[in-house]
Chains A and B, each alone.
Chain A
Amino acid sequence: MSDSHGTYFIPEPSRWPLVGSLALFISFIGGGMMLNGSGFGTFILGLGIGAVIYMFCGWFADVIGESLAGNYNKQVDISFRWGMSWFIFSEVMFFAAFFGALFYIRVFSVPWLGGEGSGFTTNAFLWPDFKAVWPLLMTPDMTLLDDKGLPLASSFVPIKGIIPAFDIPAINTAILLASGATVTFAHWALQKDNRAGLCWWLAATVLLGFIFVYFQIAEYAHAYHDLDLTMNSGVYGSTFFMLTGFHGFHVTMGAMMLLVILIRAMKGHFSRQDHFAFEGVAWYWHFVDVVWLGLFVFVYWL
């Protein structure tokens, strides 16, 4: 516990929380309407997202202002650390849900459908021609035949090919690992009061982040156009896009957060002792990095 008790900074009433809730509310309404097929919903969603961004800018501007004004003592800083750590932990659990789904599908549901273990009758009576293989190129319903022996219509699109691990994904792995290193170099530079080093290493990190995202988008385009690997190609496509998609989204967010940190660094914010915003974003970046390693191993490679 710190000795600076009694001066814990309690902010004045603020409108940002309410604006934030309202902004999310509008986004959700818009998103819901959009999914129900209303074009107007897309507009409302746009409006809501705009409001969310406005809220973030406003809220963080306040926080940055308070930080620069020296309102945050050691104890407040520790609160931020706890807060960020547990936020990242919640993100870990979010990804855990999807990794769990992936494992369940690979270890249980697909083998059962293929007749392994307790799935013997399932396979024999419902999907007699289905073979469990991973990656799952043919979904169970693609193996069904009608009375005349012709294939029945499937609700999914067969996959022509998958993305090999040791191609773009491997390069992306290298990129993210490198970015993990550069952000650490930036931190070392900051600790040595080397402002130029800080900015350059940060810039390199942001750049690597965006290159990663670029490759990811190219890979998606390839998957959709050339491989017929889509969200709609059965459970392989489902897990593939769900996991890589949410990860890609997190990389994008992380890169943007790093960009903000870079701009602040260039403006001369942060000091050797006092730079939690930088560290928080760096933790986040490492977290995104680790998730990618899991993805690389379990989605692309094995």
Chain B
Amino acid sequence: MSYAAVHDDVHHDHKPTGIGRWLFSTNHKDIGTMYMVFALIMFFIGGAMAMVIRLELFQPGLQFVDPQFFNSMTTVHALVMIFGAVMPAGVGLANWMIPMMIGAPDMAFPRMNNMSFWILPFAFALLLSTFFMQGGAPAGGWTMYPPLVLQLGDGLPFLIFAVHFLGISSIMGAINIIATVFNMRAPGMTFMRLPLFVWTWIITAFLLIAAMPVLAGAVTMLLTDKYFGTAFFDAAGGGDPVLFQHVFWFFGHPEVYILVLPSFGIISQIIPTFARKPLFGYASMVYATASIAFLSFFVWAHHMFTAGMPLAGELFFMYATMAIAVPTGVKVFNWTATMWRGSMTFETPMLFSIGVLFMFTLGGFTGLMMGITPVDFQYHDTYFIVAHFHYVLVPGIVFGIIAGVYYWLPKWTGYMYDETLGKWHFWLSTISVNVLFFPMHFLGLAGMPRRIPDYNTQFTDWNQIISIGGLAFGLSQLILVWVVIKCVRGGEKATDQVWEGAHGLEFTLPSPPPFHSFTTPPKVTEAMAHS
């Protein structure tokens, strides 16, 4: 039965009209939509930059861009993808789904929610404007290591302020999510009945609140080193360039779990639905996620093995890094066990989730290899690293987000998307993403460093294959855009439950759901919990 049907009060469902509906919104669904659209645009901008990278790397020699501009491309590609595409997509899904999943009318702080969003376009305006400045856009890598980054021209303060700005947005978003989940759950929605997507987001929010301010501190020190004569990262004054790396990665490693945990949450919703079987090991999933988050604060220096830490440090960070494989393994095994003896069907969201399962695990394996300090001395700063993190980031996270979009799209729009196109999207993406990223392992092992616009001729063949894979993967994403537009405009009506095996409060609301999700909270029982 549908709770919303009972409580759907037309009077409450009036929507603000005109452009003000979006500019001044206090509605979690509208804000969620804006986040998703913004993320998609940024994904294309970041993707276009990746295409420039791949174009230049198609052949040895410099054909198209200046090396400095190439470095700007890698740097801004990464910043745009991470802070502009993946994080906002995660927050967008959280905005749309969390209130519906926990039976709340909206987010705890609807106005602040809107500000979290509107900061993003402005922050990226700041960042992208550096392309037109004296000295060009940031070109010191997304990791912004000094002293190199301090050689940037007029763009430096804008880079730093953009990072501050994004930090403010993320912290406000995280506070909002925590307050919402802690305080606005429907009666009976105890913590151990929360859908896993909500759980992963609470933990992500903790990570955000703990990590983003540290990044803000790190870049603030860059700013004062450059403009106010401080010496944090200058040995001549008693500081240490490596100090920045410690502070940055104290943020940076938790950051990668900030990116990936929501994706874990999404596939934990989807796999049980299409296996028609409850999620295996719900409690251990929660504890594993929490352990991953906790451990993520103690492994940061695995990015700095070659910086020359004392032996004890290298050993500690090696062991801690290896330890993360255990809770992550628990998650992988639990997903597998969920599929085991299920009754599976393979609609697009399930296909993408299975893609995550396989290819994230692959990326995790290479991560583990890099965690072994002495071997990382060889891997570090080669394409092996690039292969690792793209496997976890693209088929590990972007696929997860895409899976979530397909899964909830009928709920959002009220129409089913085009399943045939969805399947095409999956297969083309999966094949091309492997052509794109798998050969990078070989290049890295054979000794091709990362962040270079030009390379020795022995690397040509693989690079050409990679570039072709990249173009194919990029073009395949146009299908997604087409599917979404088509679905928004109409199609077969979606039922409230949408999927045969779906559980959870969001599927008790009509498709599309009313403007204010649950004006009267539903009562949640044990039987309804745990999809």
Please report A residues at the B interface, Cβ cutoff 8 Å. 1, 5-6, 8, 10-18, 20-22, 24-25, 28-29, 31-32, 35-36, 59, 75, 78-79, 82-83, 86-87, 89-91, 93-98, 100-101, 104-105, 108-110, 112-113, 117-118, 126-127, 136, 139-141, 154-156, 230-232, 234-239, 241-242
Contact call A1/B240, Cβ cutoff below 8 A? no
Query: How far does the alpha carbon of A8 sit from the alpha carbon of B186 in the complex, in Å?
Result: 12
Contact call B111/A235, Cβ cutoff below 8 A? no
Residues of A within 8 A of B115 (CB): 16-18, 20-21
Shortest beta-carbon distance from B57 to chain A in Å: 32
Contact call B179/A154, Cβ cutoff below 8 A? no
Which chain B residue has the least Cβ–Cβ distance from A156?
B237
Which chain B residue has the least Cβ–Cβ distance from A100?
B247
Query: How far does the alpha carbon of A104 sit from the alpha carbon of B174 in the complex, in Å?
Result: 29
Query: How far does the alpha carbon of A109 sit from the alpha carbon of B211 in the complex, in Å?
Result: 23
Residues of A within 8 A of B118 (CB): 17-18, 20-21
Contact call B213/A82, Cβ cutoff below 8 A? no
A-B contact pairs, 19 of them (CB 8 A): A6-B521, A8-B106, A10-B110, A14-B114, A20-B118, A22-B122, A82-B178, A82-B182, A86-B175, A90-B212, A91-B213, A100-B246, A140-B236, A155-B236, A156-B237, A231-B224, A231-B228, A231-B229, A238-B239
| Contact of A94 with B175 at beta-carbon distance under 8 Å, contacts A10-B106, A140-B237, A235-B238 already known | no
Contact call B218/A28, Cβ cutoff below 8 A? no
Shortest beta-carbon distance from A245 to chain B in Å: 9
| Contact of A139 with B209 at beta-carbon distance under 8 Å, contacts A5-B521, A24-B119, A87-B175 already known | no
Which chain A residue has the least Cβ–Cβ distance from B171?
A90
Which chain B residue has the least Cβ–Cβ distance from A77?
B183
| Contact of A86 with B174 at beta-carbon distance under 8 Å, contacts A139-B236, A141-B237, A235-B238 already known | yes
Residues of A within 8 A of B232 (CB): 101, 105, 235, 238-239, 242
Contact call B183/A82, Cβ cutoff below 8 A? yes
Residues of B within 8 A of A59 (CB): 111
Query: How far does the alpha carbon of A24 sit from the alpha carbon of B225 in the complex, in Å?
Result: 23
Residues of A within 8 A of B516 (CB): 10
Residues of B within 8 A of A8 (CB): 104-106, 184
Contact call A237/B230, Cβ cutoff below 8 A? yes
Contact call A11/B26, Cβ cutoff below 8 A? yes
Query: How far does the alpha carbon of A232 sit from the alpha carbon of B228 in the complex, in Å?
Result: 7
Interface residues of B in 197-247 (CB under 8 A from A): 209-214, 216-218, 220-221, 223-225, 227-232, 234-240, 242-243, 246-247
Residues of A within 8 A of B184 (CB): 8, 75, 79
Which chain A residue has the least Cβ–Cβ distance from B121?
A21
Quick one: which of A5, A12, A35, A105 contacts B239, CB cutoff 8 A? A105
Query: How far does the alpha carbon of A211 sit from the alpha carbon of B102 in the complex, in Å?
Result: 48
Query: How far does the alpha carbon of A178 sit from the alpha carbon of B457 in the complex, in Å?
Result: 71
Contact call B126/A28, Cβ cutoff below 8 A? yes
- Of the listed residues A17, A83, A101, A140, the one surrounded by the most CB atoms of chain B closer than 10 A to its CB is A17
Shortest beta-carbon distance from B308 to chain A in Å: 7
Contact call B238/A5, Cβ cutoff below 8 A? no
Contact call A18/B24, Cβ cutoff below 8 A? yes
| Contact of A18 with B23 at beta-carbon distance under 8 Å, contacts A8-B105, A59-B111, A238-B232 already known | yes
Residues of A within 8 A of B210 (CB): 89-90, 93
| Contact of A100 with B250 at beta-carbon distance under 8 Å, contacts A5-B186, A94-B214 already known | yes
Contact call A5/B187, Cβ cutoff below 8 A? yes
Query: How far does the alpha carbon of A105 sit from the alpha carbon of B108 in the complex, in Å?
Result: 41
Contact call A118/B308, Cβ cutoff below 8 A? yes
Query: How far does the alpha carbon of A36 sit from the alpha carbon of B125 in the complex, in Å?
Result: 18
| Contact of A15 with B237 at beta-carbon distance under 8 Å, contacts A5-B187, A8-B184, A31-B157 already known | no
Query: How far does the alpha carbon of A237 sit from the alpha carbon of B308 in the complex, in Å?
Result: 27
| Contact of A110 with B26 at beta-carbon distance under 8 Å, contacts A29-B126, A82-B108, A97-B247 already known | no
Which chain B residue has the least Cβ–Cβ distance from A89?
B209
Shortest beta-carbon distance from B435 to chain A in Å: 40
Contact call B209/A93, Cβ cutoff below 8 A? yes
Shortest beta-carbon distance from A265 to chain B in Å: 24
Q: Is B519 an interface residue (CB 8 A)?
A: yes
Quick one: which of A28, A29, A230 contacts B229, CB cutoff 8 A? A230
Extra 7 A-B pairs, beta carbons < 8 Å, given A94-B216, A100-B250, A241-B230:
A5-B521, A6-B521, A13-B25, A28-B162, A35-B157, A83-B179, A93-B210
Query: How far does the alpha carbon of A141 sit from the alpha carbon of B234 in the complex, in Å?
Result: 10
Residues of B within 8 A of A109 (CB): 235, 238-240, 242-243
Q: Is B61 an interface residue (CB 8 A)?
A: no
Residues of A within 8 A of B225 (CB): 238
Main secondary structure of the interface of A (DSSP, over half): helix
Q: Is B489 an interface residue (CB 8 A)?
A: no
Contact call A156/B236, Cβ cutoff below 8 A? yes
Shortest beta-carbon distance from A63 to chain B in Å: 9
Query: How far does the alpha carbon of A154 sit from the alpha carbon of B236 in the complex, in Å?
Result: 8
Query: How far does the alpha carbon of A243 sit from the alpha carbon of B218 in the complex, in Å?
Result: 13
Contact call B185/A105, Cβ cutoff below 8 A? no
Contact call B179/A28, Cβ cutoff below 8 A? no
Which chain B residue has the least Cβ–Cβ distance from A13?
B24
Query: How far does the alpha carbon of A136 sit from the alpha carbon of B232 in the complex, in Å?
Result: 13
Contact call B238/A232, Cβ cutoff below 8 A? no
Which 3 residue pairs spanning A and B have beta carbons closest together? Answer: A97-B217, A232-B229, A235-B238
Query: How far does the alpha carbon of A241 sit from the alpha carbon of B182 in the complex, in Å?
Result: 38
Shortest beta-carbon distance from B390 to chain A in Å: 29
Contact call B519/A28, Cβ cutoff below 8 A? no
| Contact of A231 with B230 at beta-carbon distance under 8 Å, contacts A1-B185, A14-B114, A83-B175 already known | yes
Query: How far does the alpha carbon of A82 sit from the alpha carbon of B310 in the complex, in Å?
Result: 41
Query: How far does the alpha carbon of A283 sit from the alpha carbon of B56 in the complex, in Å?
Result: 55
Query: How far does the alpha carbon of A205 sit from the alpha carbon of B174 in the complex, in Å?
Result: 32
Interface residues of B in 239-263 (CB under 8 A from A): 239-240, 242-243, 246-247, 250
Q: Is B16 an interface residue (CB 8 A)?
A: yes
Which chain A residue has the least Cβ–Cβ distance from B309?
A118
Residues of B within 8 A of A78 (CB): 183
Residues of A within 8 A of B23 (CB): 15, 18
- Of the listed residues B109, B232, B238, the one surrounded by the most CB atoms of chain A closer than 10 A to its CB is B238
Shortest beta-carbon distance from B229 to chain A in Å: 3
Q: Is B499 an interface residue (CB 8 A)?
A: no
Shortest beta-carbon distance from A89 to chain B in Å: 6
Query: How far does the alpha carbon of A109 sit from the alpha carbon of B310 in the complex, in Å?
Result: 12
Shortest beta-carbon distance from B395 to chain A in Å: 32
Query: How far does the alpha carbon of A126 sit from the alpha carbon of B238 in the complex, in Å?
Result: 13
Shortest beta-carbon distance from A225 to chain B in Å: 17
Query: How far does the alpha carbon of A82 sit from the alpha carbon of B107 in the complex, in Å?
Result: 13
- Of the listed residues A1, A59, A104, the one surrounded by the most CB atoms of chain B closer than 10 A to its CB is A1
Contact call B26/A25, Cβ cutoff below 8 A? no
Quick one: which of A11, A105, A241 contacts B243, CB cutoff 8 A? A105
Contact call B227/A35, Cβ cutoff below 8 A? yes
Query: How far does the alpha carbon of A140 sit from the alpha carbon of B231 in the complex, in Å?
Result: 11
Interface residues of B in 168-192 (CB under 8 A from A): 168, 171, 174-176, 178-180, 182-187
Contact call A10/B179, Cβ cutoff below 8 A? no
Shortest beta-carbon distance from A29 to chain B in Å: 7
Which chain A residue has the least Cβ–Cβ distance from B135?
A36
Which chain B residue has the least Cβ–Cβ distance from A23?
B122
